[in-house]
Structure 1
Amino acid sequence: MTMMKTARIHEYGDTSVIRHDTVARPRPASGEVLVQVAATSFNPTESALRAGLLHAFLPVDLPYTLGWDVAGTVVEIGPGTEGRAVGDRVVGRLDGGGAAAEYVRAPAALLVPAPASVPLAHAAALPVAGLTAWQAVFEHGKVTAGQRVLVNGAGGGVGGFVTQLAKHAGAEVIATAGPRSTEAVRRQGADRLIDYTAGPVGDALGSPVDTLLNLVPLSPPDAAALATLVRPGGRIVSIATPIEPAVGTGVSARHLVARNDVTHLAALVELVDAAALSIDVSESRPLADLADVHHLSESGRIRGKVLIIP
């Protein structure tokens, strides 16, 4: 029996519940492939899952192998599985987790060819954050050329993709970021930067924006203050705290929970290979450091996307 390393939780709790187990390497079933993992990437929502905060919304069977993003190479094909071949370099979002391991069994239909223009491991930063950004900008924000767009929380993994996609759509992008993220957000194409640590965003913004894309948790007063920065008839999309528009403004508001969509993921890969979208990897860490990455995230000390290498 061939064995492999994994990072799993056997119970909900703080970062100490992440265990590094050696388990049997899985075999792909019909419709599945076995992927040798080049990398997964850390998403802050996984900290909430580990802590049990998502149990009502996203129950999982324990023990549970972490890792929703995967980039790697197909090494085995399940019986009757079509569309993939051994040796394919692939990327995908695995809603059942499992990518924080040396190998993962994955539905072939959830995988797309990885971008050819970046290291394979870097592609692992794309699925969860990229899909969230795509759907925020294009599906719900309906960002188009000439609009003024405020990206609140541009320094995170999703924020980098949101900034670039809104700019790709032709919008004027105003981004909030802290001092640690300023240079990265500027490289990603923001037309204007507002340091949210220096004072209220509204004081620095000036005229209202067409669309607010909020990517960070907010207190009720801060959410209400941001809502006033959108022009009448504009749009608010939040992936974190829901934001209610001011009464009588005609502003539409959407709280976004991104869905897995391979069509959108393939479009993101095309943009990467066309050099129209960059993947900002701030750090690569070994699987053994996953608990430390969770801790750093919870203390607000992570910028961009962190790769986890098995």
Structure 2
Amino acid sequence: MARAVRFDEYGDRDVLYVEDVEVPRPAAGEVVVRVEAAGINPGEAAVRQGAMREMFPATFPSGQGSDLAGVVSAVGDGVTRFAAGDEVLGWSVRRSSQAEYAAVPVSQLIAKPPGLGWEVAGSLYVVGCTAYAAVRAVGAGKGDTVVVSAAAGGVGSVVTQLLRTRGVTVVGIASPSNHGWLAEHGAVPVAYGDGLAERLKAAAPQGIDAFIDLFGPQYLRLAVDLGVPRDRIETIISFAEAAELGTRAEGSVDASDTGVLAEMAALAASGDIEIPIAATYPLDRVRDAYAELEQRHTRGKIVLLP
């Protein structure tokens, strides 16, 4: 038996519990991973709350989590890419990563680079692939000036750094407490709140080429008002507004590819991109982990360590 996070109905984080379940057995083309680290994400909270039930309906009892990293403990028929004892990272589409063991198709796993720590490896998929998709969506390249909202958050911190590796000038919207981190990573920090449009214009006197929203719909409308071309405005969260305004809305699903994940893992392992770890929690404190996440003021990732 092994422990796993479960919920039996939609609701707040108090519906979460940890119970003993049978260790999964790998089907053909799968491996079982002994999970060393599993990141948590706002999208998982939205699924559990029922906010995304039309797109991602839950079947109860439901597990939770997509990010994971760990050690292969068993392999299914036909698996040749991995063997027991291999260190891997990747994702689950079954909401099963927040557990001690998870069965995962080999098509959703890569080998963990030796220099990559477990906490980073186990929280890389969602932020890494989402950041990659967002940067790709706006066609950001050398010489561009790109505004990023929530620039020091879990996805934002990766977007900011990925843009910088591509020679982009980043104007990062964040609370003053995160301005030092943004400046240290080559971004121009700007505080949110009243007067933001004027501060953005002052920070980007030559104009804004693209805008990546990681927080909410008000930023899409702000980008339009600032004259940013709509095909270079991207959101990972405000889908209805993006459809209304004709802007872009791409996320991790659009870049869920082992090649993309391997590229992001290599950047993290080399130190070209830092994945800040805001906090770690044991599995039985999963509610506390989501309580911290839902404050929406953490810098970097919150990770469960089963």
Same fold judged by TM-score > 0.5?
yes
Alignment partners' CA distance in 2, 1:165 and 1:18 = 34
Is the CA contact (8 Å cut-off) linking 2:134 and 2:251 kept in structure 1?
A: no
CA-based RMSD of the aligned residues comes to 2.0
**Percent identity at matched positions?**
31
What per-residue deviation string (whole Å, max 9, x for no partner) do you get for residues 134-153 of structure 1? 01102x11111000010111
What is the match of residue 147 of structure 1? 144
What is the match of residue 126 of structure 2? 128
Alignment partners' CA distance in 2, 1:244 and 1:75 = 43
What is the match of residue 256 of structure 1? 250
Tell me the SS of whatever aligns to 1:184.
helix
Is the CA contact (8 Å cut-off) linking 1:224 and 1:244 kept in structure 2?
A: no
Q: 1:200 to 1:226 in 2, by over 3 A?
A: farther
What per-residue deviation string (whole Å, max 9, x for no partner) do you get for residues 235-283 of structure 1? 1011112456999xxxx72012321211100111121233211111111
What per-residue deviation string (whole Å, max 9, x for no partner) do you get for residues 182-215 of structure 1? 233333331x100114x33211012330010110
Is the CA contact (8 Å cut-off) linking 1:228 and 1:245 kept in structure 2?
A: no
Is the CA contact (8 Å cut-off) linking 1:7 and 1:66 kept in structure 2?
A: yes
1:224 aligns with 2:221: yes
What per-residue deviation string (whole Å, max 9, x for no partner) do you get for residues 79-116 of structure 1? 22121111111111212121111111111111011132
Letter in 2 for 1:275: G
What is the match of residue 261 of structure 2? 265
Q: 1:246 to 1:59 in 2, by over 3 A?
A: closer
Letter in 2 for 1:47: A
Is the CA contact (8 Å cut-off) linking 2:276 and 2:299 kept in structure 1?
A: no
Alignment partners' CA distance in 1, 2:229 and 2:216 = 24
More helix by share: 2
Letter in 2 for 1:235: R
2:80 to 79, 82, 88: 82
Report the Cα offset of residue 63 of structure 1: 1.0
Q: 1:229 to 1:75 in 2, by over 3 A?
A: same
Report the Cα offset of residue 304 of structure 1: 1.5
Tell me, which stretches of 5 or more residues in structure 2 are unaligned?
none
Alignment partners' CA distance in 1, 2:281 and 2:244 = 43
Is the CA contact (8 Å cut-off) linking 1:282 and 1:303 kept in structure 2?
A: yes
Report the Cα offset of residue 301 of structure 1: 4.3
What is the match of residue 211 of structure 1? 210
Tell me the SS of whatever aligns to 2:130.
helix
Q: 1:241 to 1:232 in 2, by over 3 A?
A: closer
Q: 1:217 to 1:280 in 2, by over 3 A?
A: same
Tell me, which stretches of 5 or more residues in structure 1 are unaligned?
none
Letter in 2 for 1:273: A
How many residue pairs get matched?
299
Alignment partners' CA distance in 2, 1:244 and 1:28 = 40
Is the CA contact (8 Å cut-off) linking 1:224 and 1:245 kept in structure 2?
A: no
Letter in 2 for 1:148: T
